[in-house]
Amino acid sequence: MADVAARAGVSTMTVSRALKDGASIAAETRDRIIKAVEELGYVLDQSAGSLSSKRTGFVAALIPSINNSNFADTARGITDAFAETGLQLLLGYTLYSVEKEEQLIETMLRRRPEGIVVTGGRHTSRGRRLLEQAGIPVVETWDLPQTPVQHVVGFSNADAAASLVKYLYGKGYRRIAFIGGSTSRDTRGADRRAGYEAAVAELGIGPGRVISFGTPPISMQQGGEAVVRLIEQWPEVEAAICVSDLSAFGAVMECQRRNWLVPKRIAIAGFGDFEVASCCVPSITTIGVHCYDIGHKAGNLLLRAIEGDRTGKVLATETIITDYQVISRESA
Amino acid sequence: MADVAARAGVSTMTVSRALKDGASIAAETRDRIIKAVEELGYVLDQSAGSLSSKRTGFVAALIPSINNSNFADTARGITDAFAETGLQLLLGYTLYSVEKEEQLIETMLRRRPEGIVVTGGRHTSRGRRLLEQAGIPVVETWDLPQTPVQHVVGFSNADAAASLVKYLYGKGYRRIAFIGGSTSRDTRGADRRAGYEAAVAELGIGPGRVISFGTPPISMQQGGEAVVRLIEQWPEVEAAICVSDLSAFGAVMECQRRNWLVPKRIAIAGFGDFEVASCCVPSITTIGVHCYDIGHKAGNLLLRAIEGDRTGKVLATETIITDYQVISRESA
DNA sequence: TTATGGTATGGTATCGATAACAAGGAATTT
DNA sequence: AAATTCCTTGTTATCGATACCATACCATAA
């Protein structure tokens, strides 16, 4: 910056002003500085700037997996909410592990984000403490935690799964199974399973038939293998709810391969309304979650909270409950 | 840090040493400091550290889309290559636009990454200049640029598409079409199309039949719409190559919906070997690209280059050509 | 006993920008 | 004409850590 200043015949302070908008500077001087910047190929050093201004200009978001278009949509929603602000989103991938999440929280906090969005309401105790003590706005998403850290934008995965059970019940299915991963690492997956079990019990169509298979997130392939196991273990089964559309798709395709008609031999439902669910033949009944919306609302909430922190008025803790609905298609 | 130092009865310098490994410090002192750190809930400020040490500890990677599992795999490959180093990956999404890429390059460079990975070999002229002048190692991936900026890890998309045409030709197909996006925004998509056209010309089975539809990246849905247009426009068509597996999947499903047998009525091939291609019925013939490998090799190359920069020996510019192959399945 | 070397720690300068305040000059008001 | 205001620019201190060098201390060797 000193080089640029020398070339333009001004002080570094003036260069600094020329490079940010909203500062008072003569148009002529600014042009001269911009010219010098371009001639020298100078790029602002933001880490130095942040140190001084105490604004790093980014927000951290932790999502389970890069490979899941639901979370990708949420990330897009957050990004879009920041469009006008110059705030950047820094993504981290927890791979559905709270330990990895804890580690990422710390890594992120070291870079001093202005806010943080996490997926889910369960964390390691140290992870939670880090979030609480960070002194920045925190939003938990995709879940309704019992005792939130601060703000929440989400829905009850258990209730959503239960509503799918009730939908199937309404369609006349009684022997309803659940296909999910083999550990409770994926806490939202575990919640969906719990919701399934509660609904089955409530409707008096128990006991539950649960196939636990593969490490979350379970793949299409694993969904296919799981449905085969399911039918081997409980041949009387009439319908299956899969923990996500990806496994549901794998299951539907495997049934097709084996000439098990869907939904006649077995009805299959998914979760998340991925694109594959609407495209595939037969199309897949699922729960539509407003992924983008979750992100967008979380982003806006964070913006208000950050703005509040800056101006001294702390925003009251908010919980925003988002919508979901059963999307009825051919597979169930 | 001063608070921690005071509490532990040492200087900040000693605290700094306690918090990084490899520094000489008495075990007892370190324990005392760690204790103080935990009691105070202190988290290191990395932006200040980077300013001083001139090491930001992260590498930038620009990929077209978060929603494409191919690039996600590449990102995973890069991350894995960094596993032992403490280097972090910062992802940016260009949405298949070189203008957006240019903007991201600048945003990233402001944070002073230690290296940068970009997807593709085409950039705006300013984007290219920024990369050249950044003074850090640069790797271009997923392409073989005519005049690389520095290092390259990729393959020829045109040749890969051509090899798919030849595969179909070998299977007896002569009237072969190409389905892709309607702009050349997706430069790799455009290269694949060029490779298709070259191969069709070379084999004397022209003219090419090209359906251009939708803004890249084209979706499953759009693949389905495109195949309908294709058959309306050229009913004699025998086979179609889609720009990616996602559109190929959409096309296959739409055919199924309309009772156009695949591959009997029309053979369909994709590109990229996404999971959906192997799972779906009929399974989809495609080009298998070693996405993870591209990332892993790019990551390792970058590591060596960064190490070289630090120790003064500049690494000679490398071009690593990765493998691909036609994966023969049911759809073609 | 003295010399030598290694280890642990502290002091100071510095990384590259920006905040806060100061000041000079032109434009406007009284 | 003097006073006031606004606009533009510069000076200095500072953000929070680490590099670099200095130093105290202890252990071992001569």
Q: What is the pLDDT of residues A259-302, one digit of tens each?
A: 999 999 999 999 999 999 999 999 999 999 999 999 999 999 99
Q: Would you state the pLDDT for residue B238?
A: 96
Who has greater pLDDT, A236 or B27?
A: A236
- Look at residue A216 and tell me whether its pLDDT is greater than 90: no
Alpha carbons A156 and A271: distance in angstroms, whole number: 13
Distance from the Cα of B286 to chain A's closest Cα (Å) equals: 17
B110 touches chain A (CB under 8 A): yes
Q: What is the pLDDT of residues A150-193, one digit of tens each?
A: 999 999 999 999 999 999 999 999 999 999 998 888 999 999 99
Q: Would you state the pLDDT for residue A154?
A: 97
For residue A47, the chain B residues in CB contact (below 8 A) are: 47, 50-51, 56, 111-112
CB pairs under 8 A between A and B: 91
- Percent pLDDT > 90 in chain A is 88
- Look at residue B308 and tell me whether its pLDDT is greater than 80: yes
Q: What is the pLDDT of residues A231-255, one digit of tens each?
A: 999 999 999 999 999 999 999 999 9
Distance from the Cα of B128 to chain A's closest Cα (Å) equals: 12
Alpha carbons B25 and B101: distance in angstroms, whole number: 45
Mean pLDDT, chain A, whole residue set = 94
Do residues B139 and B150 make contact, with C-beta atoms less than 8 angstroms apart? yes
Q: Would you state the pLDDT for residue A313?
A: 81
Region B247-259: what's the mean pLDDT? 96
CA B92 vs CA A79, A104, A174, A189, B107: distances in Å: 11, 18, 47, 28, 10
Nearest to B77 by CA among B148, B138, B141, B135: B141
Q: Would you state the pLDDT for residue B216?
A: 85
Region A210-220: what's the mean pLDDT? 90
Q: Would you state the pLDDT for residue B208?
A: 86
- Percent pLDDT > 90 in chain B is 87
Q: Would you state the pLDDT for residue A57?
A: 94
Q: What is the pLDDT of residues B311-321, one digit of tens each?
A: 878 889 999 99
Could you say which of B41, B75, B110 has the minimum Cβ distance to residue A129? B41
Contacts of A259 (CB under 8 A, 6+ apart): none
Q: What is the pLDDT of residues A114-145, one digit of tens each?
A: 999 999 999 999 999 999 999 999 999 999 99
Q: Using the CA of A23, give the nucleotide whose C1' is nearest.
A: D8
For residue B64, the chain A residues in CB contact (below 8 A) are: none
For residue B46, the chain A residues in CB contact (below 8 A) are: 110-112
A33 CB-to-strand C distance under 7 Å: no
> Which residue's structure tokens are 């490979």?
A67
- Look at residue A36 and tell me whether its pLDDT is greater than 80: yes
Return the residue in A89, A259, A279, A283 with the most chain B beta carbons within 10 A, the one to mutate for interface testing. A279
Q: Would you state the pLDDT for residue B187?
A: 92
Strand B286-289 to B324-327 pairing: antiparallel
Could you tell me the pLDDT band of residue A68, with boundaries at 50, 70 and 90? confident
Which H helix or E strand runs over B327? strand B324-327
Phi, psi dihedrals of residue B190, rounded to the nearest 5°: -65, -40
Q: Would you state the pLDDT for residue A183?
A: 83
Chain C: nucleotides below 7 Å from protein CB are 7-20
Region A68-91: what's the mean pLDDT? 93
CB contact under 8 A, A111 and B249: no
Q: What is the pLDDT of residues B173-217, one digit of tens each?
A: 999 999 999 888 899 999 999 999 999 999 999 788 999 988 888
Q: Would you state the pLDDT for residue A237?
A: 95
Region B259-285: what's the mean pLDDT? 96
Do residues A250 and A220 make contact, with C-beta atoms less than 8 angstroms apart? yes
Q: Would you state the pLDDT for residue B68?
A: 87
Alpha carbons A166 and A202: distance in angstroms, whole number: 10
Alpha carbons B262 and A107: distance in angstroms, whole number: 50
Nearest to B319 by CA among B152, B143, B117: B152
B residues 199-258 near A, CB within 8 Å?
Answer: 219-221, 224, 249-250, 253, 256-257
> Which residue's structure tokens are 């779906």?
B280
CA at A26, C1' at D1: how many angstroms apart?
A: 29
Q: Would you state the pLDDT for residue A66?
A: 84
- Look at residue B63 and tell me whether its pLDDT is greater than 80: yes
Do residues A229 and A257 make contact, with C-beta atoms less than 8 angstroms apart? no
For residue B221, the chain A residues in CB contact (below 8 A) are: 275, 278-279
Alpha carbons B227 and A197: distance in angstroms, whole number: 43
CA at A112, C1' at D24: how many angstroms apart?
A: 37
CB contact under 8 A, A279 and B249: yes
Q: Would you state the pLDDT for residue A309?
A: 86
Region B278-300: what's the mean pLDDT? 97
For residue B80, the chain A residues in CB contact (below 8 A) are: none
CA B135 vs CA A42, B113, B125, B284: distances in Å: 11, 10, 17, 44
CB contact under 8 A, B253 and A130: no
B109 touches chain A (CB under 8 A): yes
Q: Would you state the pLDDT for residue A184?
A: 81
CA B76 vs CA B72, B87, B212: distances in Å: 6, 13, 31
Q: Would you state the pLDDT for residue A170?
A: 96
Do residues B303 and B318 make contact, with C-beta atoms less than 8 angstroms apart? no
